[in-house]
Structures are given as structure tokens and as C-alpha cells.
Structure 1
Amino acid sequence: MSNPMTPDDIERLARRRAGAKLGWYAHASVYVVVNLFIYALSEYGFGQRRWSVFPLLGWGLGLTLHGISVFLIGKGGGLRERMVQKERERLQRPRDGS
């Protein structure tokens, strides 16, 4: 059986979750600014071909994986919490034939 969290535990976890989300927002902001600059270089500066799509896609994949780890899978993420709660409920159900 799980012990209830103390107020200090809750505060620590809340700060960790908020920090992870702020980290992702900062990552996304830098992604947008840098890729706009790269696009401008590609479009109006260097070369005949549009090469800016390559860093956009590569970094975009990294940003997506970062978001998945923060918002879905990471400790306290929505998906993980729902799965843990379902497992708790399953384990607490009375078993037939026991």
C-alpha cells in the first residue's frame, strides 16, 4: 500500500514537474527562434536549395521526444499517472476463486 505524500514531498514533486515543463517551453522557444533564423539564411542567404528543412525536422524530432518525456511518460506525467492508477485499482480488486 502506498504511503500518503507529505507536504514537503508534494512541494518537491510540484517544483520538479514545473521545472521540467518550463524547460520544455524554453526548448520550444529556442527551437522557433533559431529555426526562423536558419530559414531566413536558407531562403535569402546561402545556396539555391532550401536546406533549412533538415535541421527543422531533426531538432523537431528531439523537441517532440522531449515533450513526450515531460508531458506523457515522465514521473508525474499524465499518461504514467493514469496507468499507475489503473494498476493500483487492478491490484486492489478482490480476486475470484481465492
Structure 2
Amino acid sequence: MKNIDFNNNNSNTDFQKEDAYLRAEKRLKALKGFYSHAFFYVVINLILIGIVAYHSNGEFWSFGTFSTAFFWGIGLVFHAIGVFTKDMLFSKKWEDRKMQDYMKNDQTRWE
């Protein structure tokens, strides 16, 4: 993180750069979290289904065989929605507008 000189006239642009950096860092962490979740979903479910297939006596194609993958898959879909559609609902423009509204409200309160 870089230090910001608040006495400098460029402090607003420094803040915007810092804000953009922090957003990108947060987005990257969310993306990495989703990819690791998807990786472990595939690996663990392949192992579980393999174990069930090895020990099944002709009853492989039942719901119980795939239930873990099914229910965990629902969680993975919600994780994907949270990571990939977040900007659709709360975009940067929306956040900037709300920030300006809050700043105006605070400014009028203190004047």
C-alpha cells in the first residue's frame, strides 16, 4: 500500500488510484476463492464417486451416489453468482453515486 500525501493537490487522484487498487485486489481474492472452490469440488467429488463406484454392487446410478456433488454444486453455483454477477447489481457507478450522496449529506450536516 502506498502512502498518500493529503496536503498535495493530487490527493483526490491518489485516493482514486488507491481505491481502484483495493477493488482490484478484492476482486482477485474473490476470483481465486471461487477457482479453488471449483477445483476442490471437482477433485473431491471425483474421489467420492470413484469410491462409491468401486464399492457399489450394481447400485451405482442412484441419487445417493451423486448427492454430495449435487448439493455442493448448488453452493458452487451461488458462489459463482456472487463472484461473477456482483458488478451487475452494485456497479462502480452505483457506488460512486451513493458515495457522493453520503458525502453531500455529511457535508450539509456539518455546515
- Relative to the length of structure 1, the TM-score reads 0.69
What CA deviation, in whole Å up to 9, does each residue of 1:47-89 have, x standing for no partner? Answer: 653332100100000000000011113xxx2x2229949xx7x
- Which structure has the greater CA radius of gyration? 2
Deviation at 1:45, TM superposition (A): 2.1
> Gaps (5+ residues) in structure 2?
1-11, 98-111
Moved more, 64-73 or 46-55: 46-55
* C-alpha RMSD of matched pairs (Å): 2.5
How many positions carry a matched residue from both structures? 80
* Greater share of residues in helix: 2
Q: Residue 67 of structure 2 is aligned with which of 38, 42, 54? A: 54
Structure 1 segments of 4+ aligned residues over 6 angstroms from their partners: none
Aligned residue runs from structure 1 range 52-91, under 5 A: 52-73=65-86, 77=87, 79-80=88-89, 81=91, 84=94
Identity of aligned residues (%): 30
The one-letter code matched in structure 2 to 1:43 is A
> Gaps (5+ residues) in structure 1?
89-98
- Relative to the length of structure 2, the TM-score reads 0.62
CA distance in 1, matches of 2:70, 2:23: 32
